[in-house]
């Protein structure tokens, strides 16, 4: 028979200097208001690398009221608490920080508020008028700002969400535990916010609090970690419930309408329609078939990337996953489709989010590098033939009629140049890092933060970088992926050349060279999400390059760019819809889940 009514959990990470005193003070305080055999004190030791485990084990052996719950791996503060609470025996669950910053004479009020059945959750507060709390500016200002954000964005009625002095009933924990996603410092806040959303009885009472030890604003944890978690929780509680299939369909339709309206800002629709009227339908269909061939090649390349990361999947499934993610980039703004791929391979093949995002990063780097190389080779060719001066004149807006077209093209080419340089820099950095054993990730993050959450972030990033390095360090994999990338983007250019032919233009060597350059720069320009689906940037870059360097006029160049872009988008959408039906994937759900994955948690086997 279990006579334990109250379980006190002390989250401990490398607390060898304080844990013994903390346990002793806790036991003495509990004895003043609870029967001696009605409580337990649990040291939730979270993968410590000091003497804390030995001390906790010794205390547990000496006193039956003390328990030591050990984790071999770091679970994070919230994860360690959940792990301990699941193994606790009491009906009232309590935890507080081991530094005893909160005056222990408040412990009875904390425990009895829940134990009496009057409240489901109780929490101490350092921001109520009645309390006494010594808050230095370096602690008080960030705390005030953080709690203000939580109250404003997450609509919480509480003043203090991060005070490490809380209690809740077993029933409340069993309801809230599965709904709290964070496993680190945001765990406290998320639990309190969701308790209020569940209409639980929450008591906030003032406590006397005095900071122990040194502290500082932590860039990694406080800004990146906590800020992203507020956003993730807001999305989960306030945005996601309102996204119905009907709303999603309406939003996608509106994006298409906006894209069409953007087109009319830089071209005369009637002139374009007149140019299109003479295009050969058969050759336009041929261009679509050529582009369709590139998709199985994308699947094969993605298979090679995952193979080198020790994930072995069929190219057909991976082709579908690529189709779905690229469809997401067409339908949703800000390239949200990029994260969809990670969701699809995790949901359907249990490939972890870090590995999924790493594989996507490898693919993107190879894409950008290949496009940059193709554009660079053609630029050298143009310079050798004396055509480069005409291109520079076009960039200045002197050779292409239509201010809107010139401006769009200039912006696109400048964006493309920046993206190309970034791609080359990324490849150099990745290849260099693959050839060294230096731990640059942890050293870099350590310059900004020494907090345990920074260690957690560093671990995630290290795993991500390690996956990328696995591919770049494997010579044969690097070659296969590189060859696949070259084939994919060559087919992309051949699609555009088929459209040139559909408009009646002979594919002379000079036009083919300019076509390679125009398509490459247009694709680089689309990388940044400046317009929906890259509309305007691709066409502008394509036109400003083709019009001055070939016999193709401005209206015809715009028409070719639009048809080329439309053919590629149509193939992508059809393939995406078919893949979603085949793999039973909802694009809206995939986008929601991939957004949540911005807070990547470590998983078994990672």
pLDDT of residue 599: 44
* Contact by Cβ (8 Å): 378, 517: yes
Residues 519-561: tens digit of each pLDDT: 887 777 676 555 555 556 677 778 877 887 788 887 788 889 8
Q: What confidence tier does 354 reach under pLDDT thresholds 50, 70, 90?
A: confident
pTM equals 0.53
Mean pLDDT within 397-409: 44
pLDDT of residue 120: 96
Q: Tell me the C-alpha distance between 147 and 318, whole Å.
A: 44
* Contact by Cβ (8 Å): 11, 41: no
Residue of 363 and 212 predicted with greater confidence: 363
Annotated active-site positions, please? Answer: 188
Q: What confidence tier does 402 reach under pLDDT thresholds 50, 70, 90?
A: very low
Residues 428-469: tens digit of each pLDDT: 665 555 555 555 555 665 555 555 555 555 665 666 566 666
Residues 6 or more apart in contact with residue 459 via CB below 8 angstroms: 74, 602
User: In 3D, which of 146, 172, 173, 176 has the Cα closest to residue 159?
Assistant: 146
User: In 3D, which of 159, 224, 217, 228 has the Cα closest to residue 192?
Assistant: 159
Helices (H) and strands (E) in the chain, counts: 23, 7
Residue 496 CA: distances (Å) to CA of 129, 493, 499, 554, 581: 69, 5, 5, 16, 29
Which of 59-68, 139-148, 563-572 has the least mean pLDDT? 139-148
First-last CA distance in the chain: 40
Residue 255 predicted with pLDDT over 60: no
Gyration radius from the chain CA atoms:
30
DSSP state at residue 225 = I
Q: Tell me the C-alpha distance between 149 and 548, whole Å.
A: 53
Q: Give 255-261's long-range contacts (Cβ < 8 A, gap of 24+).
A: 255/331, 255/332, 255/333, 255/532, 255/533, 258/532, 259/531, 259/532, 259/533, 259/535
Residues 289-318: tens digit of each pLDDT: 999 999 999 999 999 988 888 888 999 999
Residues 163-211: tens digit of each pLDDT: 889 999 999 999 999 899 887 788 889 999 999 999 999 999 999 888 7
Tokens of 4: 């334990």
């Amino acid at each position: 028979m279990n006579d334990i009514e109250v379980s006190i959990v002390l989250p401990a990470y490398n607390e060898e200097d304080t844990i013994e005193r903390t346990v002793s003070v806790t036991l003495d305080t509990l004895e003043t208001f609870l029967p001696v055999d009605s409580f337990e004190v649990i040291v939730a030791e979270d993968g410590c690398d000091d003497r804390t485990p030995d001390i906790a084990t010794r205390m547990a052996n000496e006193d039956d009221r003390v328990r030591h719950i050990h984790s071999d791996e770091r679970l994070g503060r919230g994860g360690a608490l959940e792990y301990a609470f699941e193994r606790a025996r009491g009906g009232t669950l309590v935890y507080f920080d081991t530094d005893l910053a909160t005056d222990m004479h408040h412990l009875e009020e904390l425990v009895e508020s829940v134990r009496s059945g009057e409240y489901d959750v109780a929490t101490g507060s350092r921001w109520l008028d009645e309390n006494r709390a010594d808050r230095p500016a370096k602690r008080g200002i960030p705390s005030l700002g953080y709690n203000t954000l939580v109250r404003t964005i997450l609509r919480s009625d509480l003043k203090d969400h991060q005070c490490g002095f809380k209690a809740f009933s077993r029933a409340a924990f069993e309801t809230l535990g599965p709904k709290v996603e964070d496993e680190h410092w945001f765990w406290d806040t998320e639990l309190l916010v969701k308790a209020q959303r569940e209409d639980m009885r929450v008591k906030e009472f003032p406590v006397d609090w005095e900071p122990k030890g040194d502290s500082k604003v932590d860039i990694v944890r406080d800004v990146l970690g906590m800020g992203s978690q507020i956003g993730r929780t807001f999305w989960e509680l306030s945005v996601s419930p309102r996204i119905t299939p009907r709303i999603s369909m309406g939003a996608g339709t509106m994006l298409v309408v906006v894209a069409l309206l953007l087109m009319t800002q830089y071209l005369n629709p009637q002139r374009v329609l007149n140019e299109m009227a003479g295009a050969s339908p058969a050759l336009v269909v041929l261009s679509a078939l050529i582009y369709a061939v590139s998709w199985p090649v994308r699947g094969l390349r993605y298979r090679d990337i995952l193979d080198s990361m020790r994930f072995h999947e069929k190219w057909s499934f991976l082709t579908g996953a690529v189709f779905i993610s690229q469809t997401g980039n067409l339908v949703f703004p800000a390239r949200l489709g990029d994260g969809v791929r990670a969701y699809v391979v995790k949901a359907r093949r249990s490939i972890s989010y870090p590995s999924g995002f790493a594989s996507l990063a490898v693919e993107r780097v190879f894409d950008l590098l290949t496009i940059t190389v193709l554009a660079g080779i053609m630029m050298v060719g143009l310079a050798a033939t004396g055509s480069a001066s005409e291109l520079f004149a076009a960039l200045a807006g002197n050779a292409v009629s239509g201010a809107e077209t010139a401006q769009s093209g200039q912006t696109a080419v400048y964006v493309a140049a920046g993206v190309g340089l970034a791609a080359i820099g990324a490849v150099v950095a990745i290849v260099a890092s693959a050839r060294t054993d230096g731990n640059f990730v942890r050293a870099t993050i350590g310059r900004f933060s020494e907090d345990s959450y920074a260690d957690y972030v560093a671990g995630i990033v290290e795993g991500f970088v390690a996956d990328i390095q696995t591919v770049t360090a494997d010579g044969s994999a690097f070659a296969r992926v590189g060859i696949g990338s070259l084939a994919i983007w060559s087919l992309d250019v051949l699609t555009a050349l088929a459209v040139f032919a559909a408009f009646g233009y002979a594919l002379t060597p000079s036009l083919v060279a300019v076509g390679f350059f125009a398509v490459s720069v247009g694709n680089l320009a689309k990388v940044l999400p400046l317009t929906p689906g890259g509309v305007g940037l691709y066409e502008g870059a394509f036109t400003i390059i083709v019009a001055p360097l070939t016999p193709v006029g401005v209206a015809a160049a715009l028409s070719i760019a639009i048809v080329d872009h439309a053919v590629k988008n149509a193939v992508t959408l059809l393939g995406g819809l078919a893949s979603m039906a085949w793999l039973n994937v909802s694009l809206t759900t995939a986008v929601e889940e991939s957004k949540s994955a911005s807070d990547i948690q470590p998983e078994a086997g990672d």
